[in-house]
Each structure stands twice: as structure tokens, then as C-alpha cells.
Amino acid sequence: MDFQNFPVSENFTFGVTYPAFNDPESEKFIPTLLAHDLSRGGRLFQFSKRRSGHLSTVFSQDNIRWKRFMFSLGLRYDDYRFLVRGHQLQPRVGLAFYLHETSTVFRLSYNRNYQTPPNKNLLLSNSDESSVLVPAHVRAVLGGALIRIRPERQNVYEVGVQQALGGHLSLDSSFYHKDSQDQQDNDNFFNTGIIFPTTLKRIRVNGAEMRANLLPTHGFSGSLGLTHYHAVSTPPFTGGLFLGSAAVQLLSSGPFVIDHDQTLGLHSLIQYALTKSIWTSGSIRYDSGLVSNPSDPAKVARDLDYSELLPYVNLSSNPPRVRPRVISDFAIGYDRVREGRRRWDLQFQVSNLTNQIALYNFQSIFVGTRLVQPRSLGVKVRWYW
């Protein structure tokens, strides 16, 4: 059994200080912000509230071995009480079959999950006070300015196979499907890094993963992983604070591919032990590109905030995506071991070794535009006692 109590306190204040941000003569003018435009005589928007909620959980699980089969069985019940109330019974079933003649494992599983909303900025995004910021046409399309966020309910199915190849190499592949109600996501507060929880009606995700693992051989070890994700969200907006008037048509026009959909991701890691204490590693990651917002290239070219990023996004593809990128990292470390115990270790790392300029997202509906960090150096020291 598990019981969590979470007191939440939020204080949020903002005001528009730049006259050109919400110019009444602009086509992007948002009338609901005018009351908080300090450059035009408005006043600060202020929010302060406290609430407390809890989550009660009862669960049972066990593993049962029978001949070549392994059963993993579980049952969980959650009772959530905060801004909304909800509960769910969640079966968890896993089955693995070991074919020892070929060193092969087949597996399949089903999980029913209950994902409660994140508490960060949850009070504000579910408050009557914040609803006054929602533009009138957004209210009309979405059916209101305020809908309470409910927990996400997920069904997750997976099948997989693992194959040993000799004593040093193994292959692991899996295929999965997930469908969820009240998909949880985040929306940016205009073009800032401040995010608020939101939900959409439904999401469907199909994916495949494959990984090859090399166990230590003559000092070398490593892995190679390939991933494919296809994710489709279905409107309408079903909870939280949503101010993105520019994307409201997309959120009301039917299912759409969301930004963590990616055709191919590839990540390789190789590590070499020079001595018992000194090691070095290198990694290369390739991403074919996440889905971006379907922006007009001509408008982006005229926007001083985004025009320089046009070479790193393909807005003419269907759906639009950020362009592929290759990022490499390098690390070297020293592990101090004495009397069979690790005492301390030191690691030096270079991230984005070639200093590639690339995007994770471009004008995403929910998370805005994010760039890959430039070349960065890091040193980590750890002591063990």
C-alpha cells in the first residue's frame, strides 16, 4: 500500500512590458491581455493559491515460473483526490517463454496505467482566474475557457524477442502500441519557457525498438539502438490552460501527428577500458527529425526571432519536420578502486563534440522551439563511502 499527500502552493505574476508584443493594430492582438499590458496602463496579473490533495494506492504483484514460462502478474488500484476525483483498477500481465536450445526469449505484456496530472502550475491552469486570459475565439472553438484536468488512462501492449549470439553479443527487439484517454501534455505561456499542464482527448502511439549489446570483449563494450515512433493525437482540448490561439484551428480539425513522432533514431555507444581504472567512450546519435508546427515559410522568413532557423527545418515536408542531425559525445574517466571497492571516480565529457547547430522542436504547439545545446564541457567527481 502507498499513500501520498501533496500540499501545493503557487504564486504567479506577470505583465506585458513591451508595447509591440500585443499591439492592438497587429493581427496577433489578444484582447484578453490588454488589461495586463503595463505599457498601456494595465495592471499586473496576480495569482496565489494553496490546495492539498492525495493519492491512495493498493497493489499486489508476483512472478510465477512454470517449465519454460515466466508469468509476471500484478493488480493495482489508485484513488486520486485533488482538483478532480478519480480511480482506476489496473491489471498488469507479462509472459516470457525461454527457448534454451537457441538461447531465445519471447515475451509479451499488457499494462493498464493511471497517470495523474503533474502538480507544477496545476492550480493556475485549472483556475477561474486564469480563464480570463483565454481569447474569446479560442473559447468558442474549444468549448470553454476552463476544463479541469483529469488523470490519463493508458492501455500499453508490447511484444518482443531477445536473442543471444555467442557469449558476447545479444539482440533485443520490441514492438508496442499505446492508446490513452486525456493525453497529458504541456503548453508554453506564450513564447517563454514557463509551461502549464494540458490534456487532449486521445493519443495513439505505435513504435519499434531494436538494440544490439556487446558484452566486454578484449576491453571493448558497447551498444547500438534503433527506434521508430509514430504518435497521433486527437483533439479536442480536454483540460488545463491553453492560450495558443495560432494553433487553435489545428487542435479542432481532427487527428494530427504530434512532435515526438520520429521515423528513425539511432544511437551507438562504444567504450574501451585502457586499464582497470581508466576508460574512454564515444557515442554518436542520429535523429531523422521530429514533427514541427506547419508554419508558413514566408512568414518565418520575416520573423526576426525565427528566420535564422529556417535552414534547420523542412516546412515543405508532410508533415513538416526538423532536419536530421548527428550529435557526437566523448568521455574519459578514472575509477579509483581499493580493496575491491570503488572509492572515487573522475569523468571528463565533451557533449556535441563537433558543435552542430540543430533543432529538437520548431514552433511546437506545446513546447515551442528548442535547440540542441552547443558544444559543452563537463567534469564530474564522485566519492563513495
Average pLDDT, integer, range 247-269? 81
The answer to whether 257 and 289 are in contact (CB under 8 A) is no
The percent of residues in the chain predicted with pLDDT above 90, rounded, is 69
For the chain, the average pLDDT equals 90
pLDDT band of residue 239 (cuts 50, 70, 90) is: confident
CATH class of 58-383: mainly beta
**65 to each of 62, 93, 99, how far by Cα in Å?**
10, 14, 14
**130 to each of 12, 13, 49, 103, 286, how far by Cα in Å?**
10, 11, 12, 58, 41
Is pLDDT above 90 for 269? yes
pTM exceeds cut of 0.85: no
Pick from 68-82, 324-338, 357-371: least confident:
357-371
Task: Give pLDDT, residue 11.
Answer: 95
The answer to whether 213 and 170 are in contact (CB under 8 A) is yes
Question: What whole-number distance in Å separates Cα of residue 116 and Cα of residue 343?
Answer: 40
- Looking at per-residue pLDDT, the higher value among 116 and 243 belongs to 116
CA atoms within 13 A on the CB side of 117: 30
Q: Per-domain residue ranges for the chain?
A: 58-383
Task: Give pLDDT, residue 142.
Answer: 60
